[in-house]
Structure 1
Amino acid sequence: MGRGAGRIRRGRRRRATSTRRIDRGCGRSQEMIIERLDLKAYGLFSDESLDLSAGPRRFHLVYGPNESGKSTCLRAISALLFGIPTRTTDSFLHSNAKLRVGATLLGPDGNRLTVIRRKNGKTKLHAEDDKTPIDPMELEQMLGGIDEAAFHHRFGLSHEQLVAGGQAVLDSKGELGEILFAAGAGVGRLKAIQTELENESKELFLERGKKRINSLLSELDEKRKIVRELQTPPAEYQLLKRQLAEAQQQSQELADERTRLAQSLAKQKAIREAHAIVPIWRRHKAQLETLSSVPTLDEDFAARRREASANRQTYQRLVDQLQREIEATEKEIQSCLIDPATMEHETEIVALFQGIAAREAASKDQANLHRVVKNRNRHLRELLRDLDIDITDDAPDDEVDQHVDRLHVSDAAQIRINELAGDCEMLRQQERDSLESLQALRKQLAELDDELERHPDVADPAMIESVLSEIGPPATLMDQADQERSSCRDLESQCERLIRELRLGQVSLDDAARLQPPTAAEIDDHDQTLRDRARFVDDAQKTVATLRKQLHDAGEKLTRLQADQPLPTEQELEHSRETRDQSVDRLADSRDDEETFQQSTRKLRQSIRTADDVVDTIRSHQKQVTERASVTLEIANLKDAIDAADEAVIQAERLAAEASQQWSQLWESRGIAAGKVREMRNWVAKHQTLVEKYHSLEKERGRLDSTLTRMDRNATRLAHALQGAWSSRPVAAGHVAAGHVAAGHDGTSAVVDDPMNLESLHDRATALRNELVAAASHLEQIRRKRNEIHAALPAAEAKYESNAAKRKQWDSDWKQAIASFAGDQDVSPSVISMRLKKIAKLFEETRERDIILGRIRSIDDDGRSFAQRAAVIARIVGLECKPDQPSAEIAQALYERLQAAKNAASQTERFKADLTAAKARLVDDNQVLEAASGQLAQLCREAGVDNTDALPGVEQNAAEKRTALQACARAEEQLALIAGGVAVEQFAQQVESHDRVELEHEIGKLEESLQTLNERWSAVEQQVGALKKELSGIDGGDRAAELNQELQLLHGTIQRESQQYAKLRIASMILQQSIEHYRSENESPVLKIACQAFEELTCGRYAGLKPEFDDKGRSKLFGIAASPAGEENLVPVDAMSLGTADALYLAMRLASLEHQLSAGHAIPVVIDDCLIQLDDQRTIAAMKRFSRLSERTQVILFTHHQHLIDLAQSALEPDHYHLHRLAR
């Protein structure tokens, strides 16, 4: 069966065969399917399989509730085909080394490949035996070169992808290329990717913006300017460098001297420190020489000696105690007596003892059974008297048995009696029923004959039926006329609204529709001209603004140069020189006048000093003066440029005004008021809509006229047919009211004169037709019923005669059957049944009494057997018994003797076990005792003594030697650390050769010299620092080097950012070109399939899809809304609801898949619960689409919604899908 047969099965395995098997009859062209998915050890699955081989439609619904492993199956398919991820979440139950997922794949050419994929190991793919390696190329050939990313994007669909795709459809604003590319590539975030590329590129660089590259370029220009402004250092720079070198050399010499003095001071301090350690070292060395004969023992020697002595004493005591216990136990064993004969017959004695209680209970039961037998016999006599058999209470049991035997009825006789009793009431009832049926038929036949005599024939309604059939229901034409009138009114209203929106004033609809606006080419030409002229004006105005800003910056720079320090200008220099020359001329003129000459000389000296000061000032600030002159010249040039730019703005504005005037004339020549280009494009689009609406209105008016003409013609025909039918209509008493006939005749002439009253005419004609048909039908029913009854009458008579004969035969058979035990043969079956039950109860009582008698005899036999066995066992074991002693007492005595023998045997075994345990403990304790003695002997050998009594004294001497060794080693270690690389003995001799007082005096002198040297070195270092600071203040080389290094870094940064910007721009261009190329290649075939799919997925709300070009020449996609009038109502994509956008994306994905399948390799389509957002009808439509797609490739849909399964079971054919339920 197609459904329910695919439940997960545990442990199913096929016989190991070759990895590749050829099956030429199962493959389909260019299709790879998964026949079986083996979840051997993956996630929560262990050794489970999913059979996906069912066909011919390979649409598999895999259902599983939450936590049942649905997502694990999805990951397992991807892991099988492309590898288990390095970091997987499916190893929580099975370790990475044990992860296994396998499958049986059916290739396009019919080849089967059974593989198992591992996570770890050098070889990941193996055959079905999990040992034989498989070449990965075999699996890649099955996949047809499709990698993991392509599989998930092109052949996978999830709820998240569907939602993202629907949102992408809305974000695309209907851009056909983007929608096609997103659906074909399975990329739901296409618009987001484009936006990210654009935003990232704009974050890097934006013309006339302040982004990263712009900022880096500005910083590069600024640093280049600073480098150019750095000047050559002055002449004293070389002197400072020489002074710095001398100071550094002096600092190095002082530092060397400091190092030498510090080393000498450290050496003297080490000798001072060693003065206190050397005597201690000497003392401990002398002590070690004294204790040289004492053996060197480890620290735990005393503990080992004490432990070994304690063990020897303890275990010696335990050994002595165990030996005494062993002797006592052996005596106890010898005193125990055992009865082997009684022990040998333990089973028989126990059985006899256990049978005592049974014998007592059997005796009691036997007395009770005798009373029961007596009661049974009394009950049998009572039953015999109930059966009319005379028997006394004191009659013997044999007489009772004889009466019972005579009442025996055979099984065959009883079955026959039961059969006859069951047939009795049935036969009598059949006889009564057949008689009543016969009488009823005769009565009905008489009544129908009377009714036929009262009814005349009726006229034929065929003529009016023919007319009604031809014209059909009037509501259709009337509804059609109403719809057409409504459509006309709607179209007229739309046209009037469009005329108002077009601002055409009081103009007729015909004139408005005949207006000829400019063509799109003319609008594009004028639009381009207006844009160019506007751009020229904008560029000119921006140029003026830039020049004015530069002029403002130059003015601020000039003000800043003048504010820093008042500098003489070239005019001031020329003026001072002229003043000097004039003074010289006056001096020459006043040589004759001494006083005037002196004054002229002073003025000349003053003017010469002033001119020299101006020249000196200009020379010392040559750069500032030159820069100020340059800025002044730049300001003059900028003013000239601004004048020229203002003229260019005026010229550009004039051209723009001319273009605007030409634009207005273009529209005014056609009688249309001109607006902006965008507004006029919308105006043209609305006018085109008006023209289309006008044509639709003309067509609708023609259809309305045609409908009205048909209504007039049908009304006329119906009136004439009605008049003819009334004239030939017969009057039948009891069926047609006379008043109705008169009203009909009166109304006929009226409706004929009113041909527009089509609905009223149709109602009256229908009523007349129904009346005639009903009358004819009623008469025909009477005739048919009369014939049926007349034909059934003979059969009813024969049935009655047959039932009467059967009843008479039963009476004869009944009397014969009960003759053997019923005296009165007229007894009813119920009485006979009661007598048979009493006879059966009589025989049941007899059987139960006989069973009880057999039980009494069995008890007697068991008692005799028990007494014989007890006597035999007593004789064997030697138990003396009395001749008349009861068997129960013998069994009791045997059991007591058995218990005494068992107690003696048990006590003996216990004593033996105690003896064995004591001997084992004695062996263990002897071993410990020997080990302790051996350890003490070993300690004596280590200490060099003969007995253990001398060990404490040796331990004390060894401890003193060990303490001296440790103290000496510590002192020697300290001396070695102080002495550096000098031998300890040599260093000790050097320490001992120094006087302590002289050593302290020498250390003081060295510390004083080192302090003086440190002060000198610090002063020199401060001088070096001051020289370096002064040198860096006038040295531009370091700053220039730093700037050059920063420029190199800036160059590298700008290069990296520019490369990234170029990559982003190229990626955006390639993506756009790919979208356009995909659209041009796939638009026609994919859109053709998508139209039908979209109509199905929207359940007829949309009739299809249609591409249109917008005013910029871009291809836009529109939905065609379904219309009862057959109109083509286009709905933009961005006006659709989110659910409809999801359906559109799904339709495009399915269309792209079907188109790809027609030209390429097919692999399974895996869907992850993508339908949960759709309503029931759209979900059913989508599953039907999946089912049709599964005829070309395998489709596997995973879901955890039971409602989806219910929809599939109610709407899909059983062989159109296959249901699998995950067992967990």
Structure 2
Amino acid sequence: MRLLTLELERYGPFTGRTISFSPDANLHVVFGQNEAGKSSALAAITDLFFGIERQTRFDFVHDARELRIGGTVVAKDGRSLTFRRRKGNKDTLVGVQDEAIGEDSLAPFLGTMTREVFCNAFGLDADALRRGAEDMLKSEGEIGASLFAAASGLRGLSELRRHLENEATSIFAARASKDRKFYIALRRFEEARKAIRERELKAAYWKDLNEKIEKLSRRLEEIRELRGIKAAQRARLSRNKRIAPLIQLIDDDLKRLDGLGPLPELPADFCEGLANALEAVRTGIEAKRRAEDDELKAIRNDAEVLVDEQVLARAGDVLRTMSDMGAFANGRRDLPRIQAEADEYRRLLVESAVKLGLPDEAAVEAAQPTAAAQALVDKMISEGRRLADAVERSRAALRTEQTALSRLEQQRSANGGSVDPQPFRMQWSRLAPSLRNLDKLAETKHLVRAEEVNLREGAARLYPTVGDLDALARVSIPSAETLARYDNEFARLEREVAHER
């Protein structure tokens, strides 16, 4: 490294001074009188490279915070660096524009040089020269070592050399010794090389091992393939063994089915249709049984009837009362419904009043009708129309009855007078239970015919069709236990089949 310029901006006694050094000169002599600043310039070079000391003695003109020095250095490879140094605790090495460039920027130029070595070997002042001479006088041995120690500031080189020579002798010497480290390591090396030769793998043996490995690998693949085939066979045999009882049950069922003879092909929904038909038959039988029970009860009731002559004498009043009882019963039966409807309407009115913020239903009626009220009115209008239609039908029936009555009056006049209806009323009263039973019988026959129609329609949907329902009804129906057993069996078979798949 070579110093080209030294800029003493504000340092020691200098302000704005620059010293330039020729790049081709091997020696520069700086001449000056006493107190001219030669020592300050030498200290400036040291502070330029290694930083201005914290307790510097060169701030007697300029304040310590304003100290500035700079310079330009060039390395052997031609690289150059222009930089400045300021007083401070960090980022003291700056560029031309006072920007921090980091201490490592000087590392390629200074290398491993430290401040102490530089001051003792290169930046020598009068005190350093005096201390070096004293160290040379104190040193023993070669003069070169003493000079180097005096120049670099390194002390005790002779002692260090003796220590290094002794350590080298303990490591190696021309005469072999078991205690020297070199011969210990050499002996271990020879033993290791011998062990390597004994344990090394020969090429022929390595080739033979590879051939055996390849042969065993092929044999292993063959065994694996054979094992896979055997495993598949074992799985198939285990599966056959596991389902053998199931297959036997299926064979037994097939034999029993063969014993029943050829059966027609049935559609998929045959069982469902048959179950519906059987349910309809059961319902018809139950309805028929109820009708028969009602008939027997009516016969018993008719047999238990006792004729009261006094009551019989007032048969007309009884018949009128009975006819009125029907209307009374109807009215009494409809009264709760009508009352419930009235309560419901009243509740709706109250709810409407609450929703509208009115005190009661009277206020609702007095107020403008809402959509809910209009809907209710529409409903009541529809009900009124229905009732009007019913009244009209009743009036038509009344006119028909009046016409029939007029015809009967004419027949009575033609026959010469009125006929006492008392005997007919008595006869009618005796026949009334039987007539009611006949009405029930007609209703039952109607139900039976409807069930027969349903049965025929269900039978027509069966495949194959059932021509004779009576024959089908005579066939014995399997018990619930039998059906449940077969259902469980079919479910188990389906689970087995699903598992095998």
RCO higher in structure (CA 8 A, sep ≥6) = 1
Q: Which has the larger radius of gyration?
A: 2
Report if TM-score (shorter chain) is over 0.5.
Answer: no
Task: Give the TM-score taking structure 1 as reference length.
Answer: 0.15
Task: Give the TM-score taking structure 2 as reference length.
Answer: 0.30
